[in-house]
Amino acid sequence: MVPRRWTVKEFRIFTLAVDLYPFKGQKTGLRYPLDQDKKYSENEIMVEFKIVLSDPKNGLSHKVDVSGGAAAFLMGKHVGDEVDATSLGVAGYRIKITGASDRNGTPARQNLPIAGRRKLLLAGGVGFHPVMDGERRRKPIRGNEITADFVQINAKVTTYGEKTLGEIFPKAESAEKAA
């Protein structure tokens, strides 16, 4: 008996399922294979992110380097999620994740519900800006789930705390003058 060929739709569903639920020992979104049955603590998974925190009130942005527990807190979140920023050292603030990019500069799209990278035929939006009318191009895009492969996460403030961001993150020039 000859096995029947898969339709394109069946194949896409299978590859999406494999990406979301990898086999035991298969490489996941992290840079090394994990045992899917074991629960890992925050200390066992070392991740570092650069978070660009934008302040819509005054138009300034601040860079926050996070690692360890604060970075592990962001893993598994999606682009568009609103999270508490206390773990980032910004007490009382809530932020909305607006975008991200990996070490190659590949951007994350909010409407792609996977954790990996895909090549999609794009006609515009995040990751491709057409020059001519009707232009489409196949470009690599990351899914909207935050994994260890991301380097930069973009976020904006939605709820403010007691201190201003300028007080929490002083400018480098004023820090040099004080020293």
pLDDT tens column, 14-57: 554 444 444 444 444 444 444 444 555 545 556 788 999 999 99
The reply to whether the predicted model has a pTM over 0.75 is no
CA distance 20 to 28: 9
Backbone angles phi, psi at 12, to 5 degrees: -65, -40
Query: 142 with 99: CB under 8 angstroms?
Result: no
CA distance 32 to 154: 25
CA distance 91 to 5: 56
Which of 145, 100, 149 is CA-nearest to residue 127?
Answer: 100
Pairing of strands 48-54, 94-102: unpaired
**pLDDT score at 159:** 92
What does the pLDDT average to over 163-172?
A: 82
Q: What angle do CA 107, 130, 127 make, to 5 degrees?
A: 5
**pLDDT score at 52:** 93
Distance of CA 2 to the CA centre of its chain: 43
Which of the four pLDDT bands, split at 50, 70 and 90, describes residue 7?
low
